[in-house]
A and B are shown apart, each in its own frame.
Chain A
Amino acid sequence: MSGSPVTDGRPRPTTLAADPWRTHPARVVALRDETPGVRSYDLELRDARVRAEYRFLPGQFNMLYLPGIGEAAISISSDPAAPELLTHTVRAVGNVTNALARLAVGDEILIRGPYGQPWPLGELSGGDVILVAGGLGLASQRAAILDIVRRRDDFGRVTILHGAKTPSGLLYTSEHDAWQGAGIAVDCTVDTAEATWQGPVGLVTDRLAGLPLAASSTGILCCGPDPMMTGVARVAAGRGLGHSRVWVSLERNMSCAVGQCGLCQFGPFFVCLDGPVFRYDRIESLLGVRCL
């Protein structure tokens, strides 16, 4: 099984337990309303030993479990250098996420993780990074942004292109100034402006098209709806940036998160194991296949 074509030699970080179903209690220590229907949950693992051992990489996810309700795979959005506090930014849309929305500070949930392939920040070290996020897609990139802020000198130009339907859908706006202050350009755009909006109106792909770009040393990290990701890859290619320099984070229904339940399959891949972050050239042909 070694040498399986789906693995590319990236290290797969160890998880808390070999038994995939083992969960760990975590307390809600803070809640923040981000955008309409979207809330951030700061979680602290109850067990001190587990808390001390827990590590994650930007782009990975946890399974958040509410007994009797179910589990949901949610990106970890906090600083990987401070894993004693785990932030998850969640839109209340289904059974589990609506139940999460009823939690109060002090309540407990169960978590297991971290799972999945991270954003390739190590590989991009020394070069320019463009993070492209549609709406809640920025939640899967916040950990990467905080990691970059922490070691800003490891990277060249860093730009965040964040798009949303309306200004109220832009995520983490209270932090944008801090990111700018740390030397990251934050460029927000919306589909539909409101009276007070002074920024650009249009697609993130249009913003990408106008961005100064050193094709040989730039990596693009992208998370958003499928058409946005294919659009970003197309525009990038037009600017001389090959599909092997674009990474996207995919979303699929999953139950186990460890390649045993089969639900998250995407062509030959398990999104839980081989993703959620994929290099674009590896999945490009699959993205065009209907109902895959």
Chain B
Amino acid sequence: MMPTRELRIGDAVTLTAAGLDALIRRLAVDHRVVGPRIADGAIVVRDLASAADLPTGWIDDQEAGRYRLHRDDAAGPFDHVVGPHSLKNFLFPPREPIARFGRVDGEWRELPVDPPERPLAVIGVRGCDLAALAIQDRVFLRGRTEPDGHVDEAYERRRHKLFLVAVDCRRAAPTCFCHSTGSGPAACSAAAGRTADLTLTDLGSGPADAVAPALGERRHACRIGSERGAAVMTAVAAEVFVGHCSADEATAAERVPADLERAMWQRGKEGEGATSGRCLDTGNIRDLLFSNLDHPRWDDVGARCLSCTNCTLVCPTCFCASVTEVADLSGDSVTRERHWESCFSLDHARMHGTSVRHTTASRYRQWLTHKLAGWIDQFGTSGCTGCGRCITWCPVGIDLTAEVAAIRESPSAATGGTS
């Protein structure tokens, strides 16, 4: 039935493909809309013009060090899982100017940086990436909650205008372990602080009815999570037919992530081997890692690791950055450009012309102990969301869950503890 009143927070509606398309077009009126689409042999996050750009009918095969796409006519627009891109690429871009200066008569003047960008709307955000967003907020917006913290103004500007269309996962890759880090597979979780303006759940194909007159047409449940979400969905409902979720549909939508989460836990119990499903035991993980800084496993993984930085680049929470001075030939016009840095690079801990962490083992240890342990001290949260990107995109297939498990299995005598 057609909603006759304005939609409100907490309402749930159903959308067909036409509704999804109308949503993207409506958001595009005042946003730059990005979402999943196929490029360079992967599902990446790029600009979307319509729902036709979504990777409907494609599935990603992911394993440690492996990513391939294959056709699957039964696949909905969001039946892939996360690819190499995350919200980080947009809120904390790989390169961005942070300041500009001009020298006039020997005096430096600070000049305005680029004009504000269009507000961003992101389609298809998963639970792990909403968790990553909450973690990055703690890094870049620390000054909003802590009197001694600072705020990254460019991040905050983008963050406040960000419109999020989340999606519940229906499928997990073998590399996914969000169930064990408390960051999925349900997109939103009030308890975990994961919220979105709109949350979609693919209900698959149902019988023909007023919403989906073509028999077997796919429909999505859409829950409204914010005033902005309500306004956008009200506008969409004025353009195309949008139904209210029936009780059955609402129950089905809740079951999608719940069933997947149960399957992910079950998967971990079914035998050994990579395909049985990954899991990160986070129990006491901070003290485990900090009391094993001299564990032989670091040298073991250091011998496999290529120090290529891929894991830090695809990680949705890694925030290390350095600043490059970009000057014109006169030296009177300077842009300061911040770019992603990686703890796998020798420049990361360069001191007096040499790197403090000159071995690959020490750089891997820095990454893993920061991600899973130091982060807890620094920001009150783990830096890992269980998205599995670092496993998939590691060219030699290093799996952090296996590295942690190896240390947990044979912890060395307490060394280097920082209780």
Asked if B343 and A68 make an inter-chain contact with CB atoms under 8 angstroms apart, the answer reads no
Q: A285 to B341, Cβ gap below 8 A?
A: no
Which of B108, B147, B320, B325 makes the CB contact (< 8 A) with A70?
A: B325
Chain B, 408-419, contact with A by CB distance < 8 Å: what is the 0/1 string? 000000011110
- A98 CB to nearest B CB, Å: 12
Minimum distance in angstroms from A59 CB to a CB of chain B: 16
Chain B 220-253 interface residues, beta-carbon cutoff 8 Å to A: none
A253, CB-defined interface residue at 8 Å: yes
- List the B side residues contacting A253 at CB < 8 Å: 348-351, 356
A138-146, A166-174, A260-268: which lies at the interface: A260-268
Beta-carbon contact of A251 and B351 below 8 Å:
yes
Instruction: Give the CA-CA distance A288 to B331 in the complex, in Å.
Output: 43
* Contact flags A228-261 to B (C-beta < 8 A → 1, else 0): 0000000000000000000000011101101111
A122 interface hit (Cβ, 8 Å):
no
A19: Cβ under 8 A from any B Cβ: yes
Q: Which residue of A lies closest to B291 (CB)?
A: A285
Contact A268 B107 (CB under 8 A): no
Which residue on B lies nearest to A3, using beta carbons?
B380
B interface, size bucket: 35 or more
Within A9-30, the residues touching B (CB, 8 Å) are 12, 14-15, 18-23, 25
Closest to A66 in B: B325
Contacts of B285 in A (CB 8 A): none
Chain B contacts for A19, CB-based, 8 A: 150-151, 153
- Chain A positions within 8 Å of B322 at CB level: 255, 261, 263
Q: Is A48 an interface residue (CB 8 A)?
A: no
A residues near B374, Cβ cutoff 8 Å: 265, 267-269
Contact present for A1 and B138 (CB under 8 Å): yes
A256, B336: Cα distance in complex, Å: 12
Does B145 count as interface, using CB distance less than 8 angstroms? yes
Contact of A270 among B103, B369, B378 (CB under 8 A): B378
Contacts of A21 in B (CB 8 A): 98-99, 336
> Does A84 lie at the interface of the complex (its beta carbon under 8 Å from any beta carbon of B)?
no
Asked whether, in the complex, the Cβ of A268 is within 8 Å of the Cβ of B325, the reply is: no
A282 to B418, CA, bound (A): 7
Complex contact A260–B319 (CB within 8 A): yes
Contacts of B151 in A (CB 8 A): 18-19
Interface size on A, residues (CB 8 A): 52
Chain B 125-155 interface 0/1 with A at a Cβ cutoff of 8 Å (1 = within): 0000000000000111011011111111100
**Chain B residue at smallest Cβ distance from A7:** B148
Q: Does A209 contact B (CB under 8 A)?
A: no
Query: How far apart are the CA atoms of A268 and B359 in the complex, in Å?
Result: 19
Near A by CB (< 8 A), chain B positions 86-133 give 98-99, 101, 103, 106-108, 110
**A195 at interface, CB cutoff 8 A:** no
Contact check, A255 vs B323: say whether CB atoms are below 8 A apart: yes
Q: Which residue of B290, B369, B377 has the most chain A CB atoms within 10 A of its CB atom? A: B377
Check B107–A67 contact: CB distance below 8 A: no
Structural contact, A263 and B341, CB atoms closer than 8 A: yes
- Cβ of A198 < 8 Å from any Cβ of B? no
A196 at the interface (CB under 8 A from B): no
Given A20, A68, A252, A273, which contacts B327 in the complex, CB threshold below 8 Å? A68
How many Å from the CB of B286 to the closest CB on chain A?
A: 8
A291-B336 CB under 8 A given contacts A1-B379, A69-B325, A285-B416: no
B321 engages A261 (CB within 8 Å): yes
A262 touches B356 (CB 8 A): no
* B330-369 to A contact mask, C-beta < 8 Å, 1/0: 0100101000010100001111110011110110001001
B306 interface residue, CB < 8 Å from A? no
Q: How far is the CB of A90 from chain B (nearest CB, A)?
A: 14
Instruction: Please name 4 further chain A to chain B contacts, defined as beta carbons within 8 Å, in addition to the given A1-B380, A68-B331, A292-B416, sorted by A numbering.
Output: A67-B325, A260-B152, A262-B320, A268-B376
A contacts, CB < 8 Å to B: 1-2, 4-6, 12, 14-15, 18-23, 25, 46, 67-71, 93-94, 107-108, 110, 251-253, 255-256, 258-263, 265, 267-270, 273, 282-283, 285-286, 288-292
Closest 3 CB pairs of A and B: A291-B362, A262-B320, A12-B148
The 14 listed contacts between A and B (C-beta, < 8 Å) are A25-B107, A67-B108, A107-B106, A252-B349, A255-B323, A259-B378, A260-B139, A261-B320, A262-B319, A262-B343, A263-B320, A268-B376, A291-B358, A292-B293
